[in-house]
Structure 1
């Protein structure tokens, strides 16, 4: 209750179901979100970066509107950064007492003589494939094993076993992607559809931090 009542510092996404099933965390309790506290309407995410991983421009997201900026204002520096943290990343950032205002990227050096600003190039997909794990749960081992066999034929590396709580059957589907945004969205939709078709549940994913 004390944690829920405190003012928000920032938000991020964390696959709780997957972490619980692996024994990385335990559910200590739950409490409803206070009235008026909703998903932040305004946040930021990377708009463009160079080969060294330095952020050259940020996208300020306000509902369906996105504004590209090269340098963050003082107010924009405190906006949450939309991202998905696996367990290792979550522990690291919490122990380091990380805050969004500490992650402002490095703007490009101005040219001399000054010239009209150029539009930043869209972020290019990395050439290095990134490892992704998807978690699907089913009521019985028979259904879970059937789904595992189906996904194996589709190129996934599949692990099929009883879940940590002993109540469901876990199907862990792993693969590698290069274009994180497009390939990941496509895989999530396809796996969620497979789970629904077999009366199961798609419980999120973990992606390798680059």
Structure 2
């Protein structure tokens, strides 16, 4: 099995058309970081057109396993845009089972984690820390989900 590489463009077939993501980082614990782009296509566009789109959301994803299982396809490679070269700051929290909300949020930069309590409006835009499976990835792409709506 060939190992995915930084810069790979990933094609994701959804019920709404073809969607695309860029493999921008690899983390030792969480694996491949994908930047999922906005928009759907009936046919495969030029790779450079894809990577110029806005990022809808970022997530860790088991890319090598998904390629092996033919759930997604690597269709090209492009340099990572300068705006995406820095590892993003993620947010995480524990859901209170009684309220269904998160009372205390934590931020993580890939190495360090710190408590922030409540999120600022800017921090609400940060990706949610975790590894997304293929079902969740496809659903979130189709629903045009973004992390700002997932604040509990």
Compute the TM-score of the two structures, normalised by the length of structure 1: 0.44
Structure 1: 5+ residue stretches without partners: 106-210
Change (3 A) 1:36 1:100: closer
User: How many matched pairs?
Assistant: 104
Deviation at 1:99, TM superposition (A): 0.8
Q: 2:91–2:107: 8 Å Cα contact kept in structure 1?
A: yes
Partner residue in 2 for 1:86: 133
90, 97, 105: which is aligned to 1:51?
97
Query: When you count helix as a share of all residues, which structure comes out higher?
Result: 1
The structure whose Rg is larger is: 1
SS at structure 2 position matched to 1:2: helix
Give the aligned partner of residue 22 of structure 1. Answer: 69
The equivalent residue for 1:104 is: 151
Offset at residue 36 of structure 1 (A): 5.0
Q: Secondary structure at the match of 2:80?
A: coil
Q: Deviations over 1:61-82 (max 9, x none)?
A: 3465533233221111111112
More strand by share: 2
Whether the aligned pair in 1 keeps the contact of 2:90 and 2:127 (CA below 8 Å) is: yes
2:92–2:107 CA contact under 8 A, matched in 1:
yes
TM-fit CA distance, 1:103: 0.7
**4+ runs of 1 displaced by more than 6 Å?**
none
3-state secondary structure, aligned to 2:55: coil
